[in-house]
Amino acid sequence: MTQIDYIKHLRDIEGASISEIAARVKCDWKTAKKYADGSIDLRRRGRCSRKKTVMEGFEEYLEAWLHEDQRMPKKQRRTAKRIFEELQKLGYQGSDRTVREYVRKIKQEMRSSAQEQAIRLEQIPGEAQVDFGAFKAISGNELKTYYELVLSFPHSNAQVCLVLPSENGVCFLHGLQELFYLIGGVPRVIRFDNLSPVVAKILSGEERTLTEMFKTFQWHYRFQAEFCNPGKGQEKGHVENKVGYIRRNNFSPLPIIEDLDEFNRNLNRAMIADREREHYAKGALISELWEDDLKNLLPLPEMPMDIFQLFTRTVNKYGEVRVDDQLYRVPNVAPGCRVLIKACWDQLEILDEHGETVLHTVKRVYFQKAESIDWAAELEIFINRPRAAERAVYLRALPDALKTYILSAPDLKERRQRIIAAVTVLRQYPLAVAVKAAKQALDYGRTDINSLRMFAALQAGASTPTPGPIEEPWTPSEVAQWQPDLSIYDLLGVTGHAK
């Protein structure tokens, strides 16, 4: 019934030809003609007898295998020949060609169902899309996960970006507010994914229940919010592409983040410089089209919004409260007391239960995914490539003493030996011990592998408590401070002359 109605709609409403209908409905031309122009009495429709096909009873196996293969690597998927052999074991009597045709048909249907026709949307100046992306960066001696908040403008193909330590609600709205002030206005319409900091509940159609914090933020900045359908991230494809574009061009190779504010300032300069290139389709510079976007932005409100969350916690017996799986010390507050916490993106204000007195303010610490860098494994790569060590990504974050120890070698042969020495020590001792050993090796000019191992062993031993500081534990103090008496040689000279 649905197909017949659709055929009638195509013929009567859209005026499609029989050939067009047959192609769109994927039916025989005669069938399309019959239902498009013929007089049909559904009550008299009979059932056609159908011959049993050679594949009947085996389709289920074949389709299950093809769907199962979608989860496997491309090179490990079953070929049509392999499927034919497996069906023969189950009693299949047909030909190899029939199986190949059926496999081709099913694969084509699977590809068609995975693809949907894209609709080219109008790119209106002043409208934007927003999304988060994750990337790894070197911070200290660890690999940490950071988040890029990207605001993109499809009309001009421009984008702005801010790196944040988390993707929670407070960080998200703080970052969005910072981007507004960075560009000097507010986009009239912003398209979002169904992010948890924004959408509390997805209702039918385009209806959404928004979080209170986001709704307040939207009222303050007066923009219109649009949302993608669930699981349809391609509906904001421009910003999704920009997230990958920024990651490839600005976060590869792995960046080093020591000061997040300074890193974001440099990133903004890179975003501005990126606009001095031609638009991929419009034949004009992005910076020129960007002016159209700027002209259509809403003005900023007189005051920025104070973005925070409020919640209560109970002080534990150690005088601490837990926020985001992190413990914070609350001085001068008795255990068991209830406190009100005002959580901003970068700090926590701890107030009394009624919110009248600020008891303590502390920097907010985020639990970022971190991986320790295996320095021995990273340096081992350059044993046979000592020249390339100067350009190594990870070596940019190597402590200065070890970096200087390796790169200050007078030639490549010596550098190779120092890399071997560093790898040997790092496989046996912690990084802190290796750093101190490298510093001593440079101070005393003894950079060979045996000396570095000796310094590391002494540093590892020095980590245990000793009665007092020993400046040179490998040399007795009476020997280290001994000075020869040269006057005895003068006496020998005088005696020899007298003779």
Confirm whether pTM is higher than 0.85: no
Q: DSSP letter at 52?
A: P
> Is residue 31 within 8 Å of residue 4, measured between CB atoms?
no
Q: How far is CA 415 from CA 402, 430, 443, in A?
A: 12, 22, 17
Distances (CA, A) of 107 to 35, 64, 70, 132: 29, 12, 10, 34
Other CB atoms within 10 A of residue 228 CB: 18
pLDDT value of position 43: 41
> Tell me, what's the pLDDT at 136?
87
Q: What is the per-residue pLDDT across 457-467, written as a single tens digit (0 to 9) for each? A: 998 886 544 44
Among candidate residues 237, 172, 222, the one with its CA nearest the CA of residue 198: 172
Q: What is the pLDDT of residue 113?
A: 65
pLDDT, residue 470, reads 43
Alpha carbon of 426 to those of 396, 423, 431, 440: distances in Å?
A: 17, 5, 6, 15
Rounded to whole angstroms, how far apart are CA atoms 111 and 29? 24
Region label for 305, one of left (φ > 0), alpha (ψ between -120 and 50) or beta (otherwise): beta
pLDDT of residue 71: 53
- Specify the pLDDT at position 158: 95
Residues of the chain falling short of pLDDT 50? 41-46, 117-120, 464-471, 498-499
Type of residue numbered 130: V
Which pLDDT value is given to residue 499? 46
Cβ neighbours of 366 (radius 10 Å): 17
Cα–Cα dist 341/359, whole Å: 10
> Given this model, what pLDDT does residue 148 score?
94
* Dist. CA 157–CA 246, nearest whole Å: 13
**Cα(254)–Cα(257) distance, integer angstroms:** 10
pLDDT for position 65: 75
Distances (CA, A) of 249 to 8, 274, 289, 339, 356: 52, 10, 22, 45, 48
Residue 253, preceding bond cis, omega within 30 degrees? yes
The pLDDT assigned to 469 comes to 46
Q: Within 13 A of 499's CA, how many CA atoms are on the CB side?
A: 5
